[in-house]
Every structure is written in C-alpha cells, then in structure tokens.
Homo-oligomer: A and B are copies of this chain.
C-alpha cells in the first residue's frame, strides 16, 4: 500500500504540510556508491522554487535541502536517503476565510469528507509545497540514472500551452526553455503568455496549462507487460501531481484520429541498431520502452484559489461565498514543469532497477 509512497524498487515516501515545521521525503532503494551531495539536489529545487518571477506565488522559501541519512563520504550506501526541507515562510495570517469554507475546485471539501479534519493552513498536505519533496527525490533518481546509464540520459520538460495559447512546435528550441520564466521552448510565444498571465494575475483569476516532459537515452526493455507497464506508471505519476487532469503518452488523444498506417512507427536498421522513422508511440509499446524518447504530456487545471467570489458551503453545512485573497500562483502549471521532470526521472529509475530483477541471469 502506498498512500504517501511512490515507486517499487526506487521508492520515495513524502511527508509534511505547507505550514508545519518542515517537509521531506525518504528515498529508499538507491543503490550504493552513487555520488550524491546536497548541492546535487539543491540545483533542481532551485528550479522549482516559487517567487522567481511575477508569474508564480510570492511565497519566499529558500527550500534548502538537508541530507539526514544514506550518504557516507560523498556516496550513497544503499540505505534510505532521508531529505528534509524546513518551512520558512509560514506567514502568520488569519485563515478564518478558508478554515471553515471549502474552495470550489479544491481538495478542501474532499479532505474534510474523508477525514473529518484538515490542516487548513496553506492547504496543509494538499499544498503544492509537497512537490518540493518530489523534486528532491527526482534529483536522486537523476543521479542514479546517470550512474547506471551514463551521461546520455537527459530528462527535461517544457510548458507547451497556457490557457488557449499553445506553442508552435516547429519553433521548439530546448535552449529557449532556460531563458524565460515559463520553461517555454518557443521564444515567440513568450510575450503572448506574459500578456495573458498579467491579465489573469490582475483579475485575481487563474489559468491552466499543458506540460511536456521527455527522457532521452533510455534503453529498450524497461517496463513490463500488463500491470507493471511503464506508461501506466507514468500515467499514475503525472496524475498524482496536484491539479493534473489528463495524461498522454506520445501521440496521446490524437492517436484516436489516426489510421493504423499513419500511427505505425516504421523501423529500420542503422549501424546494426533498430531505429524508428517516427515516434507516435512516445517511446513505449506494450508497456515497455522502445529505446526512443519517452514523451509524456499532462494537463494542469487552473488553480482554485481565485479572487472572484464563488458559491460554496461551509464545514457546518451553510451556503457561503468564497474568494481567496493573498499570494497564489496564477498558473500552477509553470512550476509543474520541474515536478513532471522529477516524476519522470523517478519512474525511470524505478523501472531500471525493476528490469534487473525481471530478466534474471
């Protein structure tokens, strides 16, 4: 069972609430002798950190990670790696508005319905703050992948749609993703998004987004048929990220409109290796990696914390109006990019280890 754990052989368990003393995770299953330092993890946490542009929440956190176990003399030992990030900016404020009212579209109501209690401060456990633990675990997964597969493995992501505005894929440039606050691979779309998000932010509204994450350099053979499918685990991984409502592999929903002929990724031999002429499969067939790029896309809904009052109910069963004041992300999809990358890294690390246990000799 895994209410708060993810993965099988490479497995992490996260803990912590938005406004508790700290958050963190325990990463279990890391093989020994992998170089690992706090700096290796911090670099990825810094990418996700809020407050780096006017388009993300202004919560100020240094998100400094501490390694509490599992590393000795600079390398992993095979024992669990415990990571902790102290919460710093638990701004003292009046939660009266949120404490007793359920924000429509938010987990407020369902937590209450399930548990009869919730830590309402900053969203408690359902805060996107939990995703910092995922990014930390993902950093360990990246080290594992590099250690075993070498430097050819690259895992990266991009924002490909905000609201109604998609990028132009013909202009895709990975370098561009590092040069704007959106991880946008299409420089010409950036100003459009800036304008759009400025309007959203001023209106106290929010908007959704679509993210694409890609892993290159993954060998064929990872995954398993039927219920240990690589794509099923990726679907679960991405859908477990806050606010995600859809997941696609490769051609995804567009595959429904394709003919068998156009969907088939034809194969040829090149230098004694199998190569493909296209990648509608997104690098996965029958639940097992093909050796092509693993391509995963997911949709993030607009955050439910908005200024416009919405009809709702209170914990004591009264009809109320709710509007969320104060800092929030106008588009949580932006910060979901490093989170999606991290989950992709974690799933691949897990399946890499599983593969060794599956094929025996």
Contacts and interface: CB of A to CB of B under 8 A. Distances in A.
Range, interface on chain A: 35 or more
A227 B5 contact: yes
Nearest to A311: B266
Contacts of A258: 207-208, 301-302
Contacts of A360: 31-34, 144, 147-148, 353, 356
A255 B245 contact: yes
Query: Most B CB atoms within 10 A — which of A75, A256, A288, A319?
Result: A256
Contact of A282 (B3, B245, B333, B359): B245
A139 interface: no
Contacts of A34: 360
Contacts of A126: 225, 286
Contacts of A104: 264-267
Contacts of A66: 21
| Integer count of this chain's copies in the complex | 4
27 contacts: A3-B29, A3-B224, A4-B80, A4-B226, A5-B28, A6-B227, A17-B79, A24-B68, A31-B358, A31-B359, A31-B360, A33-B117, A33-B361, A78-B359, A103-B264, A104-B267, A105-B263, A209-B256, A235-B236, A240-B287, A245-B282, A246-B246, A246-B253, A255-B300, A256-B299, A274-B317, A354-B357
A316 to B, nearest CB: 11
B255 A249 contact: no
B33 A115 contact: yes
Interface in A120-173: 124-126, 130, 144, 147-148, 161-164
Contact of A26 (B26, B222, B238, B242): B26
A125 B77 contact: yes
Contacts of A93: none
Contact of A253 (B210, B287, B312, B319): B210
Interface in A169-218: 200, 205-210
A163 B110 CA distance: 37
A14 interface: yes
Given A105-B280, A239-B231, A302-B258, A26 B4 contact: yes
Q: What are the 7 A-B residue pairs with the smallest beta carbon separation, nearest first?
A: A107-B286, A31-B360, A206-B260, A110-B288, A208-B256, A104-B264, A357-B357
Nearest to A289: B110
A70 interface: yes
